[in-house]
């Protein structure tokens, strides 16, 4: 005996679809007497009518596929649909690189490894795409610092020579 009315009332009371309504097959005559929403609620409370859980859509297979793609599977030339720039925009790569380089320069400036002048020079050079990665920038900073120290040492030697020459000149004047 079909319980079409009871099923319809139950789905409206339980606020779900007809497929999610479960009617106890052993208590068919009790359920068939229910012809109002109130009586359906009572049967639901008693456990003769149940609301089934939503069937979950398993993501196990897609998780396996994602895991494989993380390892680089199914990502070869034959699987690529978009252009190189569409798959990973050059602008994004540029921004990522600039942020890395600028973060390094800021850190070096704050720690005192480079002065403001060197910071500005390297900042502008990195903006001009002179350094392709962090390692190249660090090497350039080391070279620049070495040159700066060398120039400073030469300048100190020159100043010392000039001072010595000036002292000798003064002594000669005193002797004459």
**What digits encode the pLDDT tens for the residues 80-98?**
999 999 999 999 999 999 9
Percent of the chain at pLDDT above 70?
A: 99
Give me the chain's average pLDDT, please: 96
pLDDT digits (tens, 9 = 90+) for 42-70: 999 999 999 999 989 999 999 999 999 99
| DSSP SS3 for 56 | coil
pLDDT digits (tens, 9 = 90+) for 20-37: 999 999 999 999 999 999
Contact status, residue 43 vs residue 30, Cβ threshold 8 Å: yes
Q: Give 23's strand partners.
A: 49
Q: Where in the chain do CATH 1.10.1200.240 domains reside? A: 86-175
CA 126, CA 160: separation in Å to the nearest integer?
Answer: 37
Q: Where in the chain do CATH 1.10.1650.10 domains reside? A: 4-51
Rg (CA), the chain: 41
CATH number at 4-51 = 1.10.1650.10
CATH number at 86-175 = 1.10.1200.240
């Amino acid at each position: 005996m079909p319980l079409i009315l009871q099923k319809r009332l139950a789905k409206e009371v339980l606020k779900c679809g007809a497929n999610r309504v479960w009617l106890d097959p052993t208590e068919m005559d009790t359920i068939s007497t229910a012809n109002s929403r109130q009586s359906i609620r009572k049967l639901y409370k008693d456990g003769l009518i149940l609301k089934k859980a939503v069937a979950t859509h398993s993501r196990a297979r897609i998780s396996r596929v994602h895991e494989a793609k993380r390892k680089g599977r199914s990502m070869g030339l034959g699987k690529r649909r978009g252009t190189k720039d569409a798959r990973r925009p050059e602008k994004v790569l540029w921004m990522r690189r600039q942020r890395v380089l600028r973060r390094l320069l800021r850190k070096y400036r704050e720690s005192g490894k480079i002065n403001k002048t060197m910071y500005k020079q390297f900042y502008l050079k990195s903006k001009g795409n002179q350094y392709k990665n962090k390692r190249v920038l660090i090497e350039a900073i080391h070279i620049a610092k070495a040159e700066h120290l060398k120039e400073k040492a030469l300048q100190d030697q020159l100043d010392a020579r000039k001072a010595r020459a000036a002292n000798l000149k003064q002594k000669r004047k005193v002797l004459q």
